[in-house]
């Protein structure tokens, strides 16, 4: 009897598609400025509000669930999880927030994470403390750390101010936990990871691939992210989030 059961199970498993056993790949996207390019800085670090809205509509229409790092534990419980992140805390990220508000329905709740350089808050081209508070209170935006001064953490001796002070300042402004750090310039090493673990639950790099859970040591401090650029077409965007190889 046992032999018959084993044969049946083997046959059943053979018929199952290989995708049934595949680990789910999760896109973590990285944006900077959501605005028309004004001729200053790198053009590719801009995405126009129009294109950003089209990209978010694609996610809505194709059944994606937008998560923040407070919801990390839900990544394997929801349909097509994806993380939308913005680095540096530019004032024009308010345009992304506006798109989220516009597209929000009972069926679709946009969500994103802005990694803020805490010492730059309130500068002319950066989000203010009141901006951060309004965004956080909306439930659509999570505010997390991009260090205090955007220093390359691999090149400084004392990173306590960059990591601890930034976290404390942002938590005081938003009243919410700060648990994720985006490494400036995407630079990190073993020492940076060790220091980051003292204050944060996640560390984000700029390794250009989708996240695939492998159970490696410090995996949550090596999270990869894929750039969405000024030149990224909607077709290219779709291939990125669907994990289609070029």
CATH superfamily of this structure's domain 27-242 = Glycoside hydrolase/deacetylase (3.20.20.370)
Distances (CA, A) of 97 to 90, 101, 139, 140, 205: 12, 6, 11, 8, 23
pLDDT score at 210: 98
Distances (CA, A) of 233 to 54, 104, 185, 228, 237: 10, 23, 24, 9, 6
pLDDT score at 246: 59
Cβ atoms of 195 and 162 closer than 8 Å: no
pLDDT score at 245: 73
CA atoms within 13 A of residue 131's CA, in its CB half-sphere: 20
pLDDT score at 24: 87
pLDDT score at 244: 87
Mark out the alpha helices in the chain (DSSP H runs). 2-15, 49-61, 93-103, 129-138, 160, 166-174, 190-196, 234-242
pLDDT along the chain (246 residues), means of 10: 45 42 83 95 97 98 98 96 98 98 97 98 97 98 98 94 98 98 97 98 98 95 98 98 84
Instruction: Report the number of secondary-structure helices (H) and strands (E) in the chain.
Output: 8, 12
Structure pTM?
Answer: 0.90
CA distance 181 to 28: 14
What DSSP character marks residue 122?
A: T
């Amino acid at each position: 009897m046992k032999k018959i059961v084993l044969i049946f199970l083997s046959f059943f498993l053979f018929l199952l598609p290989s995708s049934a056993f595949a680990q789910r790949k999760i896109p973590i996207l990285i944006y900077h400025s959501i605005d028309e390019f004004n001729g200053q800085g790198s053009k590719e670090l801009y995405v126009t509000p129009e294109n950003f809205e089209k990209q978010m509509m694609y996610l809505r229409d194709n059944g994606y669930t937008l998560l923040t790092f407070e919801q990390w534990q839900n990544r394997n419980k929801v349909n097509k999880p994806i993380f939308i992140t913005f680095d540096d805390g530019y004032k024009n990220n308010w345009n992304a927030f506006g798109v989220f508000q516009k597209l929000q329905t009972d069926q679709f709740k946009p969500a994103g994470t802005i990694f803020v350089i805490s010492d730059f808050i309130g500068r002319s081209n950066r989000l203010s403390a009141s901006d951060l508070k309004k965004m956080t209170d909306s439930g659509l935006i999570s505010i997390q750390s991009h260090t205090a001064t955007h220093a390359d953490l691999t090149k400084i001796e004392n990173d306590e101010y960059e990591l601890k002070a930034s976290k404390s300042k942002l938590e005081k402004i938003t009243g919410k936990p700060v648990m994720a750090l985006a490494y400036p310039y995407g630079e990190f090493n073993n020492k940076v990871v060790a220091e980051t673990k003292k204050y944060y639950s996640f560390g984000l790099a700029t390794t250009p691939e989708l996240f695939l859970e492998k159970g490696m040591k410090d995996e949550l401090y090596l999270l990869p992210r894929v750039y969405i650029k000024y030149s990224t077409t909607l077709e290219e965007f779709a291939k990125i989030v669907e994990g289609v190889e070029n």
